[in-house]
């Protein structure tokens, strides 16, 4: 069907046009040096150049022989590849007439070979039809079948169907030839999901073509948005389409069908995409199953029959809380029915009455109720009365279940709407297990407006709930104790379960390392808090790890101050209350733990701690990327904010890297200010054995006055000088990143990082993963549509007061800087809010004079 030789010549020349359209100023493809032109019958000829510039036709069959002749003669026409580089060659545009001629030739050959006829526009139906349907993209056979089977009562009887075979170029003459002159109304069905204009593109093309046909009165066009139609609803849809079309004032842009189609059921190899619980989370599920066995009931457990729609509803905490509440009320009603039945004489014998009375007294005690339940069911089964049959219809309620609601750390972003608050405020006897899978290295929230709240601290402030923070890869026995205590507690119980992983395929060793890091640094403390334990003479708070977070420490301090005078049992010093054997056992445990830490450290290479201070995220992102690259080179990296790092541990570090941005008048960012004050004023730090390096980020043009130039990268420079004073060994000279460089701070960073790897001895490492190139200022400019970017859209977005990082760089090109109120940072952070952002505009006006009107225009 196709001329292969000519097609190869067409494809061998790169096109300089990228638009979709052809002809009339919308050329699709330009061939450079292609001298053949299609003829009416589809054959192609190529003129041969002569010395006089005249052209003569040449037989295509001689292409192979002439190709060899061209190798030996330079006086003949150049080849396609040669002519593509010839300066004098003129591009030949392909018009819509050329495409029409080529398509006709192809369709005629298809018709000869297969008997199927094609044209640019196909019309089916009566030639005297007054109404027609223009359909593009959907299945015309279904609509055609409905038209053929239409009855006299149908609105769409005797209508025509127009379907385009060639959409671009749009051939007006072919359309006018296909549409009968009798057509007065055309319904245009377009599959447009998101309308950006009032009228669809096909309707506008039809309108232009029919207006140019020269008819006295062109057909009326009515546009429709075609969605998903089932076979059973096509008749109904067509009735609605033509009922509206035949109306005196048809409604435009009606939606036909459903917006979204049905989702296919998973089968065969697609089964791997079914919803499944991550295998790593089975650790906690197995513990629950081993502890409670048949009693265990997880209200939102993932089952094989669940689909996405069901999980969307049942996975919400509000649904789980309501389900547990309804289940509890159902059992309470059943207990009332048993108590009432035990007082009646509706049973055949008196044997069930004794056992029902015993069970009713122990219904709230799981151990006793579950022990009596089999006997009760046995007696009722042999009784045979109507009352016994009624109770046996709900015999599962004789057993007291261990009811649990499982959740994830996604519930920690909005405690008021996540169901956590509702369960705690209700005071009902329910258990909640929250699995937190955020690794310590990824603990910072990606969205600054959605900071994760501490569910454990929130629950302890209620004062009526049992709270435990556990980690199965740190202390298995502590998890067992916490779950048993939570089940025994009469009231709401919240068990926080730490299971850090980046991917569901992560190995247990990776989870173990992340867990150890988080527990040792105090990011995830292990504790149990029982507000009713003091009634039994026990401690309300039990710390099962060495370090706790500052917020938790403040809560305990306040709790101890309030309860100091109310303490029933006095506390003595360890020298009075403990024996020498207790002290020896503590030393043994400490040595065993130290040996375990040494074993884990041997699994990785040299340590490298990366501390960052960042306001807008540039230094933080750079630190995370450096940490990932360090891991790829075999280093044991740890990334955290400067203020979160315990300053007293700095003497024990081997390699430490600081990355800081610049805030205000050469100040440290908010999450590094306390760290800098400690380093600057410390007299105990001895960094003689510590290797360090510093990279600073700033903008050399941020301060226009000469006397303020020293603020450029001042935090990094000051930190570098102070560490040298404290005896630290510099791995690399202080790196300086400048936003005014061609690639922004990446220019200085690209020079500094290789020197760091060389100093650490990991410069030449094979098998490093490929990374996408960093986004530079030039990339931002190219993709910003003349430095516009998405600044306008970012300002309209009311979910955050900030704009994206790329738009922040674009605003700097315009002299606009995003900043926030530093005096409100701590207060807004404590409230879980993002910083109070604002924009500083630096204007250069003629003569330095500005009117109030000009300032109001900029503010608007």
Task: Kindly report, residue by residue over 50-81, the tens digit of the pLDDT.
Answer: 444 444 444 444 444 444 444 444 444 444 44
Higher pLDDT, 90 or 641: 641
pLDDT (average), residues 799-804: 80
Which percentage of the chain shows pLDDT scores above 70?
A: 74
- 844, pLDDT greater than 80: no
If asked whether residues 566 and 444 sit together in one domain, one would say yes
Rounded to an integer, what distance in angstroms lies between the CA atom of residue 651 and that of residue 641?
18
What is residue 408's predicted lDDT score, i.e. its pLDDT? 81
pLDDT (average), residues 213-238: 82
498 belongs to a structural domain: yes
**For residue 309, how far is the Cα from the chain centroid?**
19
762 belongs to a structural domain: yes
- What is the radius of gyration, based on Cα positions, of the chain? 39
- Residue 571: CATH number of its domain: 3.40.50.970
Task: Kindly report, residue by residue over 627-679, the tens digit of the pLDDT.
Answer: 988 888 888 889 999 988 888 888 889 999 999 999 877 889 888 888 999 99
Supply the DSSP symbol for 227: -
What is residue 279's predicted lDDT score, i.e. its pLDDT? 67
Peptide bond into 169 cis (omega under 30): yes
Which percentage of the chain shows pLDDT scores above 90?
A: 10
What is residue 366's predicted lDDT score, i.e. its pLDDT? 79
Longest dimension (CA), the chain: 125
- 548, pLDDT greater than 70: no
406 belongs to a structural domain: no
Domain end (from 42, 75, 102): 102
Tally of structural domains, the chain: 6
Rounded to an integer, what distance in angstroms lies between the CA atom of residue 87 and that of residue 85?
6
413 belongs to a structural domain: no
Closest CA to 746 of 712, 711, 773: 773
What is residue 514's predicted lDDT score, i.e. its pLDDT? 86
If asked whether residues 765 and 626 sit together in one domain, one would say yes
If asked whether residues 608 and 707 sit together in one domain, one would say yes
What is residue 468's predicted lDDT score, i.e. its pLDDT? 94
Task: Kindly report, residue by residue over 4-56, the tens digit of the pLDDT.
Answer: 665 665 555 555 544 444 444 444 444 433 344 444 444 444 444 444 444 44
Question: Of the given ranges (188-202, 208-222, 240-254, 846-860), which has the lowest mean pLDDT?
Answer: 846-860
What is residue 823's predicted lDDT score, i.e. its pLDDT? 72
Task: Kindly report, residue by residue over 427-452, the tens digit of the pLDDT.
Answer: 888 899 988 888 877 765 455 455 67
pLDDT (average), residues 561-573: 48
User: In which band, very low, low, confident or very high, does the pLDDT at 88 lie, cut at 50, 70 and 90?
Assistant: very low
The reply to whether the predicted model has a pTM over 0.75 is no
Rounded to an integer, what distance in angstroms lies between the CA atom of residue 305 and that of residue 157?
45
Rounded to an integer, what distance in angstroms lies between the CA atom of residue 468 and that of residue 459?
10
Q: Please tell me which of 270-284, 292-306, 362-376, 402-416 the model is most confident about, judged by mean pLDDT.
A: 362-376
- 295, pLDDT greater than 50: yes
Cα torsion 743, 745, 750, 751: sign: positive
What is residue 755's predicted lDDT score, i.e. its pLDDT? 92
User: In which band, very low, low, confident or very high, does the pLDDT at 324 lie, cut at 50, 70 and 90?
Assistant: confident
HEC states along 243-277? Answer: HHHCCCCCCCCEEECECCCCCCCCCHHHHHHCCCC
Percentages helix, strand, coil for the chain, rounded to the nearest 5? 45, 15, 40
User: In which band, very low, low, confident or very high, does the pLDDT at 206 lie, cut at 50, 70 and 90?
Assistant: confident
Q: Please tell me which of 312-321, 525-534, 837-846 the model is most confident about, judged by mean pLDDT.
A: 525-534
Domain end (from 47, 72, 102): 102
412 belongs to a structural domain: no
226 belongs to a structural domain: yes
If asked whether residues 230 and 333 sit together in one domain, one would say no
What is residue 97's predicted lDDT score, i.e. its pLDDT? 85
pLDDT (average), residues 707-720: 88
What is residue 732's predicted lDDT score, i.e. its pLDDT? 92
- 470, pLDDT greater than 90: yes
Higher pLDDT, 579 or 812: 812
What is residue 549's predicted lDDT score, i.e. its pLDDT? 59
Higher pLDDT, 356 or 50: 356
Higher pLDDT, 814 or 532: 532
- 505, pLDDT greater than 80: no
User: In which band, very low, low, confident or very high, does the pLDDT at 821 lie, cut at 50, 70 and 90?
Assistant: confident
- Whole-number average pLDDT of the chain: 77
What is residue 633's predicted lDDT score, i.e. its pLDDT? 85
Helix (H, G, I), strand (E, B) or coil at 169: coil
If asked whether residues 454 and 437 sit together in one domain, one would say yes
Domain end (from 713, 748, 771): 771
271 belongs to a structural domain: no
Rounded to an integer, what distance in angstroms lies between the CA atom of residue 831 and that of residue 808?
25
If asked whether residues 252 and 306 sit together in one domain, one would say no
If asked whether residues 680 and 644 sit together in one domain, one would say yes
596 belongs to a structural domain: no
Question: Of the given ranges (332-341, 505-514, 593-602, 738-747), which has the lowest mean pLDDT?
Answer: 593-602
Closest CA to 638 of 601, 675, 671: 601
Per-residue CA distances from 790 to 743, 784, 794, 808, 860 (Å): 20, 7, 6, 10, 17
If asked whether residues 624 and 767 sit together in one domain, one would say yes
If asked whether residues 756 and 814 sit together in one domain, one would say no
How many residues are given for the chain?
Answer: 860
If asked whether residues 471 and 570 sit together in one domain, one would say yes
- Residue 732: CATH number of its domain: 3.40.50.360
If asked whether residues 767 and 789 sit together in one domain, one would say no
- 598, pLDDT greater than 50: yes
Task: Kindly report, residue by residue over 239-250, the tens digit of the pLDDT.
Answer: 888 888 888 888
What is residue 575's predicted lDDT score, i.e. its pLDDT? 53
Supply the DSSP symbol for 655: E
Domain range for 51 is: 4-102
If asked whether residues 753 and 851 sit together in one domain, one would say no
User: In which band, very low, low, confident or very high, does the pLDDT at 566 lie, cut at 50, 70 and 90?
Assistant: very low
């Amino acid at each position: 069907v196709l001329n292969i030789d000519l097609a190869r010549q067409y494809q061998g020349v790169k096109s300089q046009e990228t638009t979709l359209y052809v002809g009339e100023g919308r050329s699709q493809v330009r061939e450079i040096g292609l001298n053949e032109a299609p003829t009416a019958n589809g054959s192609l000829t190529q003129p041969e150049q002569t010395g006089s510039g005249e052209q003569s036709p040449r037989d295509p069959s001689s292409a192979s022989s002439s190709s060899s002749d061209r190798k030996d003669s330079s006086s003949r026409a150049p080849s396609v590849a040669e002519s593509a580089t010839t300066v004098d060659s003129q591009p030949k545009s392909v018009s819509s007439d050329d495409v029409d001629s080529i398509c006709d030739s192809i369709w005629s050959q298809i018709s000869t070979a297969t008997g199927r006829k094609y044209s640019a526009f196909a019309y089916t139906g009566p030639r005297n039809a007054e109404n027609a349907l223009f359909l593009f993209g959907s299945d015309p056979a279904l609509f055609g079948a409905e038209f053929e089977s239409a009855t006299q009562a149908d609105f769409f009887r005797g209508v025509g169907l127009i379907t385009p075979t060639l959409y671009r170029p749009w051939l007006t003459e072919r359309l006018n030839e296909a549409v009968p002159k009798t057509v007065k109304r055309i319904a245009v069905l377009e599959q447009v999901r998101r309308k950006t204009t009032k009228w669809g593109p096909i309707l506008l093309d039809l309108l232009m073509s029919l207006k140019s046909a020269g008819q006295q009165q062109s057909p009326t066009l009515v546009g429709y948005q075609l969605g998903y139609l089932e076979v059973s609803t096509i008749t109904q849809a067509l009735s609605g389409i033509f009922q509206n079309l035949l109306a005196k004032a048809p409604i435009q842009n009606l939606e036909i069908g459903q917006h979204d189609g049905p989702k296919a059921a998973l089968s065969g190899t697609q089964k791997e995409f079914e919803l499944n619980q991550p295998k790593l989370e089975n650790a906690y599920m197995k513990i629950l199953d081993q502890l409670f066995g048949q009693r265990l009931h997880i209200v939102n457990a993932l089952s094989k029959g669940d689909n996405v729609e069901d999980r969307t509803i049942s996975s919400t905490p509000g649904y789980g809380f309501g389900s547990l509440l309804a289940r509890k009320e159902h059992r309470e009603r059943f207990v009332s029915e048993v108590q009432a039945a035990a007082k009646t004489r509706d049973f055949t014998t008196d044997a069930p009455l004794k056992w029902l009375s015993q069970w009713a007294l122990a219904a709230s005690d799981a151990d006793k109720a579950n022990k009596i339940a089999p006997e009760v069911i046995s007696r009722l089964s042999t009784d045979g009365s109507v009352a016994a049959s009624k109770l046996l219809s709900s015999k599962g309620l004789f057993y007291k279940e261990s009811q649990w609601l499982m959740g994830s750390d996604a519930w920690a972003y909005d405690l008021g709407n996540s169901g956590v608050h509702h369960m705690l405020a209700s005071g009902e006897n329910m258990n909640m297990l929250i699995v937190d899978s955020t690794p310590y290295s990824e603990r910072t929230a990606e969205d600054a407006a959605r900071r994760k709240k501490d569910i454990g601290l929130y629950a302890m402030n209620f004062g009526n709930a049992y709270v435990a923070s556990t980690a199965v890869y740190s202390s298995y026995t502590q998890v067992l104790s916490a779950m048993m205590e939570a089940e025994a507690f009469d009231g709401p119980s919240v068990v926080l379960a730490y299971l850090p992983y980046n991917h569901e395929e992560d190995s247990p060793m990776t989870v173990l390392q992340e867990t150890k890091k988080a527990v040792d640094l105090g990011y995830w403390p292990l504790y149990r808090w029982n507000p009713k334990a003091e009634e039994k003479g026990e401690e309300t708070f039990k710390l099962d790890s060495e370090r706790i977070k500052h917020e938790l420490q403040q809560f305990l301090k306040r709790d101890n101050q309030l309860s100091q005078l109310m303490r029933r049992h006095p506390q003595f010093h360890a020298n009075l209350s403990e024996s020498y054997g207790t002290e020896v056992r503590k030393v043994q445990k400490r040595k065993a733990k130290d040996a375990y830490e040494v074993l884990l450290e041997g699994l990785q290479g040299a340590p490298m701690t990366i501390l960052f201070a960042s306001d807008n995220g540039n230094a933080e992102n750079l630190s995370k990327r450096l940490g990932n690259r360090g891991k790829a080179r075999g280093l044991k990296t740890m990334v955290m904010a400067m203020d979160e790092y315990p300053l007293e541990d700095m003497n024990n570090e081997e390699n430490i890297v600081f990355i800081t941005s610049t805030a205000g008048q050469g100040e440290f960012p908010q999450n590094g200010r306390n760290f800098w004050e400690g380093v600057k004023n410390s007299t105990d730090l001895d960094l003689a054995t510590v290797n360090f390096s510093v990279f600073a980020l700033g903008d050399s043009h941020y301060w226009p006055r000469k006397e303020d130039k020293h603020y450029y990268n001042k935090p990094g420079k000051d930190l570098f000088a102070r560490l040298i004073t404290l005896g630290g060994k510099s791995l690399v000279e202080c790196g300086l990143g400048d936003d005014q460089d061609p690639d922004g701070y990446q220019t200085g960073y690209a020079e500094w990082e290789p020197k760091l790897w060389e100093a650490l001895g990991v410069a030449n490492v094979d098998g490093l993963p490929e990374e996408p190139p960093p986004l530079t200022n030039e990339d931002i400019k190219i993709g910003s549509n003349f430095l516009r970017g998405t600044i306008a859209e970012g300002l309209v977005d009311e979910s955050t007061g900030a704009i994206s990082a790329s738009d922040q760089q674009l605003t700097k090109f315009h002299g606009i800087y995003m900043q926030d109120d530093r005096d409100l940072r701590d207060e807004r952070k404590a409230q879980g809010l993002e910083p109070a952002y604002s924009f500083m505009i630096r204007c250069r006006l003629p003569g330095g004079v500005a009117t109030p009107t000009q300032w109001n225009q900029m503010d608007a």
